[in-house]
Structure formats: C-alpha cells, structure tokens
C-alpha cells in the first residue's frame, strides 16, 4: 500500500466547474477517492470519467440542487453514512450584486440556502464521523467579500457567515485530529462572474487569480494547518493585525452602562 492509498474520500461540492473542479483534480492527484456534488450531472460525469482515467481513483457523482431541502438531505445521508469520508470541501456557491429593495427574493433565498444552509448541514453531516475517526478535514470556501459589503449585503453576508462559522468550528475541533480551514478567494477567473451578471475583465488583471493557483495555494494552507487561508495576501502579518484588532474591538463592546456620548 502506498501513502496515496489511504487518503479516504473527499466530498467536493460545486465540482462541476471552476474552483470545485480544480479541487477534484488536485485531490484525486493526491490520492483521494471522490464524491462530486453539483446540479449538472453531465459535467460531473465527464469530470469523474477523466479523473478515474488520470488518477485511478474511485469517483462517484451525486447530482443535487443544494438549494433544495430534499436534495441536501439526500447528500447528507450519503456522506454521513460513508465511513471512508475524510475531507469535505464546501465549495458550491453563487454570487450576485443585489440591491435589497429590488432583489429577486427567491434568488436571494437560493443563494443563502446554497452558500449558508447547505454548507452548515453538510458540515454537520460529516463532522461526527470525522471526530469519531479522529481524522480528516473540512474546507469551507468563503470570499474576501466577507470583509466588504460594498457590492451588496446578501452575498457578502453569506460569506461573513462562512468565516465566522468556520472560525468557531476550528476552535471546536482544536486538539482533535480533524482540521478546519476557511479559504478567502479574491477575484478568481471562473464562470461565477458571468452567472452573477458581472464582467471579471472590468477588474485590473493584476488582481485576478486563476482557479488552479487559488486551489494549489489553498491546499498548501490546508497542509500547514491554517485556520484562515487568504491566497492573495502577501503580508500575512495583516491577517494577524486584523484578527487582533477585531478581538480588541469585541472586548470593548461590553459595559454596564451606555457610552457617555449616548447620554440623553
């Protein structure tokens, strides 16, 4: 048996394109068997066939709409029952710069269901098994827009949830053999932009990363046990400064009386 033979199974949501498809490729290359999840079964099957051929791994496909409650439960059941699962990459997601007053509220709800609810439920589905086996990892794909609401609060709000949820989960599993990582992609060249009604080429090209580089960097961060991986961040001290300032700010938000400026 080689080192590659006992990696277990990685579940990758949103594997039919973009960042998720690169994760699937890289993880198969590292020796994981795969469960690929997304709506477009044809694209998943095509990728699965390619990866089986290239890497000789077991690759199965679950076609599911993660904004649909029944579909999410079907995926939960499949992955919680699979004792070979060692890695969950919660990558499926969709964006859009919606102004609340005119937002398509059903589309906004679908975004929240995929970006937040499904990610939470799938995490909950695999975590007990990972903890019981004291092994494995959960990777949640957030966004730099978790820290900037200027392009609209709905998408940004979903990704802020992913960051807080994952940070707390990282603390929850501390001291176990389970790793938890949140990844903060900046602008990444995928179908995401067109689907969200935006043109990525309106951005300066020096801030656009390709999905291959993004995933390769995120996997290095995972291997190093990072809780927060920001692939584009050159000066990592800024992350520590930000997290420290946030903690200090939080510490100053409690008192037994309102601040003097609110005196009537």
- Contact, 144 vs 184, CB < 8 A? yes
- 19 is a contact residue toward ligand NAP (CB under 6 A): yes
Does position 93 interact with ligand NAP (CB under 6 A)? The reply is: yes
User: With binding defined as CB under 6 A, does residue 221 bind ligand NAP?
Assistant: no
With CB under 6 A as the contact rule, the residue among 12, 38, 218, 222 that binds ligand NAP is 38
d(CA 243, CA 109): 30
The verdict on 14 binding ligand NAP (CB under 6 A) reads: yes
Under the binding rule (CB under 6 A), the answer on residue 20 touching ligand NAP is yes
Please, which residue, 17 or 166, has the CB nearer to ligand NAP?
17
Options 54-62, 86-94, 129-137, 163-171: segment touching ligand NAP (CB under 6 A): 86-94
- Number of helices followed by number of strands (H, E) in the chain: 9, 9
Straight-line distance from the first to the last Cα atom of the chain, in angstroms, rounded to the nearest whole number: 74
For residue 181, the cross-strand partners are: 139
Catalytic residue check, 155: yes
Strand partners, 9: 33, 85
- 233 makes contact with ligand NAP (CB under 6 A): no
According to the binding rule CB under 6 A, does residue 181 interact with ligand NAP? no
Interface residue with ligand NAP, options 185, 222, 228, 231 (CB under 6 A) = 185
SS3 percent helix, strand, coil of the chain, rounded to 5, is 55, 15, 30
Q: Given 32, 55, 155, 161, which residue is catalytic?
A: 155
Q: Which residues, including other chains, have CB under 8 Å from residue 164's CB and lie 6 or more apart?
A: none
Q: Which of 34, 87, 92, 160 binds ligand NAP (CB under 6 A)?
A: 92
Positions marked active-site: 155
């Amino acid at each position: 048996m080689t080192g590659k033979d006992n990696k277990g199974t990685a579940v990758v949501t949103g594997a039919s394109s973009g960042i998720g498809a690169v994760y699937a490729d890289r993880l198969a290359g590292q020796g994981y068997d795969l469960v690929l999840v997304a709506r477009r079964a044809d694209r998943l099957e095509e990728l699965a066939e390619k990866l089986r051929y290239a890497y000789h791994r077991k690759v199965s496909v679950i076609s599911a709409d993660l904004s649909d409650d029944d579909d999410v439960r079907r995926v939960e059941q499949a992955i919680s029952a699979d004792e070979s699962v060692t890695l969950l990459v919660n990558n499926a997601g969709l964006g859009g710069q919606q102004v609340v007053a005119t937002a398509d509220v059903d589309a906004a709800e679908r975004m929240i269901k995929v970006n937040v609810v499904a990610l939470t439920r799938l995490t909950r589905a695999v975590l007990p098994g990972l903890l019981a086996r004291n092994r494995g990892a959960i990777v949640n794909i957030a966004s730099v827009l978790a820290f900037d609401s200027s392009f609209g609060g709905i998408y940004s709000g979903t990704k802020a949830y992913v960051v807080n949820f994952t940070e707390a989960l990282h603390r929850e599993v501390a001291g176990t053999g389970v790793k938890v990582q949140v990844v903060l992609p900046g602008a990444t060249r995928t179908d995401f932009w067109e689907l969200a009604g935006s043109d990525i080429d309106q951005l300066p090209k020096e801030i656009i990363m390709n999905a291959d580089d993004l995933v390769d960097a995120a996997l290095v961060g995972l291997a190093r046990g990072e809780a927060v991986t920001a692939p584009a961040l050159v000066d990592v001290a800024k992350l520590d400064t930000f997290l420290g300032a946030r903690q200090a700010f939080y510490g100053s938000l409690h008192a037994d009386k309102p601040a003097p400026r609110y005196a009537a």
